[in-house]
Amino acid sequence: MSASRPRTLFDKIWDSHVVERLPDGTCILYIDRHLVHEVTSPQAFEGLRMAGRKVRRPDCTIAVADHNIPTIGSRVPSDIKEEDSRIQVQTLEKNVVEFGVPYIPILDVRQGIVHIIGPELGLSLPGTTIVCGDSHTSTHGALGALAFGIGTSEVEHVMATQTLLQKPAKNMQVDVSGTLGAGCSAKDIVLAIIGKIGTAGGNGHVIEYTGDTIRALDMAGRCTISNMSIEAGARAGLIAPDQTTFDFLRGRQFAPKAGAFEQAVAYWKTLPTDPDAHYDTVVRLTTDEIAPMVTWGTTPGAVVPVTGVVPNPADEPDEAKRAQMNRMLEYMALTPGQALQDVPIDVVFIGSCTNGRIEDIRAAAAIARGRKVAAGVQALVVPGSGLVKHQAEEEGLDRILLEAGFEWREPCCSMCLGMNPDKLTPGQRCASTSNRNFEGRQGPNGRTHLVSPAMAAAAAVTGRLTDVRQLG
Ligand SMILES: CC(C)[C@H](C(=O)O)[C@@H](O)C(=O)O
Ligand code: SF4
C-alpha cells in the first residue's frame, strides 16, 4: 500500500498495526491495549489455563470489575448477594493473580466502568489499537484510538498472542456542523445521528466524526458520541486527536511523560485524515437537526426531539417496520400522537459509560440545584469511576444532588443493565442517560427513555419527560 495515497485516520491506524495481511484481505492486527472486565473474561482465562498458555503481554493488559458491583452497601466481592455476579467478580480477582494481569481493585479510587477509566487514566491513547470484550469499547475512539469490542474467544486470542484477526472495515464520515442550541449536548448529537442513519446505518464501517460541532466538544462529549457508534451498527467510532485531546491526556497516570509526551504529540499530529482521503459513505448533519432528544421505542434509533410526539405506525409504509413500531409502542405503553412531554416517569438514572463523567454530573447538578426530585420518583446518580465521584464531591455536586433528593452512589455500570441490584421493576419507566433501551435492558419489563444528563435531571424534578430548555 503506497504511503502517498491520501488516507483516513482509520486507514493510518490500521496500516500501522497490520502484522500480516492474508489473501482474503483479513489482517492480523497488533493490539496495543487490552482492557478486561469480569463478564467476558472467565472463559478466556479458562481457555489459556487448559492450553497451558500465559497472558503474553500483561503489561499491555489491565483488568477492572464493573458490571456486577453493587453501588450501595458492601462492595467486597464475597458480600455480593447474586451468585452469578459474585462468581464473576471472584473469578476475575483469582485470574488476575494467577496470570499476573494488573488489576484495579474495587475499593481503589481509580475503579470504575472500563470505558470511563481508560481515557481517565491515560490508558487510551491516539493512534493505538484497543480491544475489550465489550461492545462499548468504541468509546475510546474519541481519543483517536482504533477501539473494537471483541467476543470472549477473541479475548483469549488477544491474551495469548497480543494480536487479533480482523477484516478491514469501510470508512464512514459523519460530519456535524453548526453551533449546538440551548439545552443540547453530545448525547443529543449522537441520538440525532442514530435517528437519521438508523441502527444499521454504520454496518461494516468505522465512523469518523468530523466537523466544527465535534471539534468544539470536550473529551467527555466526544466519548459520549464515540460510545454510541455501536448503536449505529458501526464497528468503531473515531475522532481525530487535536489540542483538546493532548491537553486532556497530559499528566494522566499511564500517558507518556515529559519528553516522551512531546514526541507522542508530534506523532499524534500526523494522524488526522489527509485532505482528499476517500470515505466510502458520507453523512452530514447540521445543528438545526439537533434538539434535546428522547427515545420513544426499544431501539436507540427510535428517537424524536422532546417537543415531538410518538410516531404513528400507520404512517410507516414498510410492513415489517410497521409491525416493529407497533410492538415497541405496546412494550413502551405509549400511543401514537402522544406528546413525549406528557409521559410520566418513575425512575431516573444518571450514569453509565455514555454519561457517567464529571461533565455529565455537572450538567445534572446544574438543573438539580435549588430544585427537588418530584414525589414518587427515584433518581440515581452513579459516577462512572471513583475519580469522577471524588472530583464531584470536591466540587460539592454530591451535596447539590442529595439536597434535591437524588441518590449518590458508588461507581459501577449500575442501572445501565440489569446485572447488579440496580434494576427497574416490571412496568417502571425510566429516563436514562445510558445507551440502550432494549426490552428488559434495565430490568425485566422495564421501560427506558434515553436522554442526556440535563434532560434526565429535568425529568427527575418534574416527574415526566421534560424539555430541559423550559427549566432555564
Ligand atoms: C456485558 C457486556 C458484554 C455488554 C457489552 O458487550 O456491551 C455490556 O457492557 C452492555 O453494555 O451490554
Ligand atoms: S455502563 Fe452499560 S454500556 Fe457501559 S459497559 Fe457498563 S453495561 Fe455496558
Minimum-distance ligand to the CA of 354? 2
Ligand nearest to the CA of 134: 1
Residue from 410, 347, 408, 419 nearest 381 by CA: 408
Q: Are residues 263 and 130 in the same domain?
A: no
- 289, 322, 353: which is the final residue of a domain? 289
Let me know if residue 2 belongs to a domain. Answer: no
Range of the structural domain that residue 238 is part of? 170-289
Q: Same domain, yes or no, for 154 and 223?
A: no
Domain identity same for 122 and 104: yes
Indicate if ligand 1 lies below 6 Å from the C-beta of 134: yes
Q: What is the CA radius of gyration of the chain?
A: 22
Is the residue at 1 inside a domain? no
Residues 324 and 388 in one domain: yes
Pocket test for ligand 1, best of 35, 36, 39 (most atoms within 8 A of CB): 39
Question: What gap in Å lies between CA 286 and CA 446, rounded to an integer?
Answer: 34
pTM as predicted = 0.98
Q: Based on the structure, what is the number of domains in the chain?
A: 3
CA 421 to chain centre: 21
Query: Mutate which of 85, 115, 388, 450 to test ligand 2's pocket (most atoms within 8 Å of Cβ)?
Result: 115
Q: Is 460 in the pocket of ligand 1 (CB under 6 A)?
A: no
Say if 103 falls within a structural domain. yes
Ligand 1 pocket, residue 328 CB under 6 Å = no
Q: CATH no. for residue 449?
A: 3.30.499.10
Residues 90 and 126 in one domain: yes
SS3 164: strand
Ligand 2 atom showing the smallest separation from residue 67 Cα? 6
Q: Is residue 3 part of a domain?
A: no
CA distance 332 to 383: 27
Q: Which phi and psi (to 5°) does residue 432 adopt?
A: -130, 140
Domain assignment present for residue 343? The answer is yes
113 touches ligand 2 (CB under 6 Å): yes
Last residue of one domain, picked from the residues 121, 149, 166: 166
Q: Is the CB of 67 under 6 A from ligand 1?
A: yes
Question: For a pocket test of ligand 1, which of 135, 153, 299 has the largest count of ligand atoms closer than 8 A to its C-beta?
Answer: 135
Q: Is residue 440 part of a domain?
A: yes
Binding-site residue ranges for [4Fe-4S] cluster? 353, 413, 416
Beta strands per DSSP E along 117-262: 129-132, 146-149, 163-166, 170-177, 205-210, 236-238
As given in the structure block, the three cell numbers for residue 455 are: 434532560
**Is the residue at 4 inside a domain?**
no
**Measured distance CA(225)–CA(217) in Å, rounded:** 10
CB 149 within 8 A of CB 136: yes
CA of 220 to the centre of ligand 2 (A): 16
> Do 262 and 410 fall within a single domain?
no
Do 199 and 90 fall within a single domain? no
CA 363/CA 115 separation, integer angstroms: 20
Domain match, 200 and 348 both: no
Regarding whether 175 and 150 lie in a shared domain, the answer is no
Q: How far apart are CA 184 and CA 356, in angstroms?
A: 17
88 touches 413 (CB < 8 A):
no
Final residue of a structural domain among 117, 139, 166: 166
Binding site feature residues: 353, 413, 416
Tell me, yes or no, whether 309 and 388 share the same domain: yes
- Indicate if ipTM > 0.95: yes
Q: 466 C-alpha vs ligand 1 centroid, how far in Å? A: 29
CATH of the domain at 209: 3.40.1060.10
Residue of 148, 128, 125 whose CA lies nearest to 235? 148
Q: How many Å from the N-terminal Cα to the C-terminal Cα in the chain?
A: 54
Same domain, 94 and 192: no
Domain-located, residue 219? yes
- Cell readout for 319 is 410492513
Reduce the DSSP state of residue 404 to 3 states and report it: helix
What is the pLDDT tens value at each position of the chain, 472 positions in all? 445 799 999 999 999 999 999 999 999 999 999 999 999 999 999 999 999 999 999 999 999 999 999 999 999 999 999 999 999 999 999 999 999 999 999 999 999 999 999 999 999 999 999 999 999 999 999 999 999 999 999 999 999 999 999 999 999 999 999 999 999 999 999 999 999 999 999 999 999 999 999 999 999 999 999 999 999 999 999 999 999 999 999 999 999 999 999 999 999 999 999 999 999 999 999 999 999 999 999 999 999 999 999 999 999 999 999 999 999 999 999 999 999 998 999 999 999 999 999 999 999 999 999 999 999 999 999 999 999 999 999 999 999 999 999 999 999 999 999 999 999 999 999 999 999 999 999 999 999 999 999 999 999 999 999 999 999 7
B/e letters for 255-286, b = 16+ CB within 10 Å, e = fewer, are bbeeeebeebbeebeebbbeeebebeeebebe
Q: Assess whether 112 and 34 both reside in one domain.
A: yes
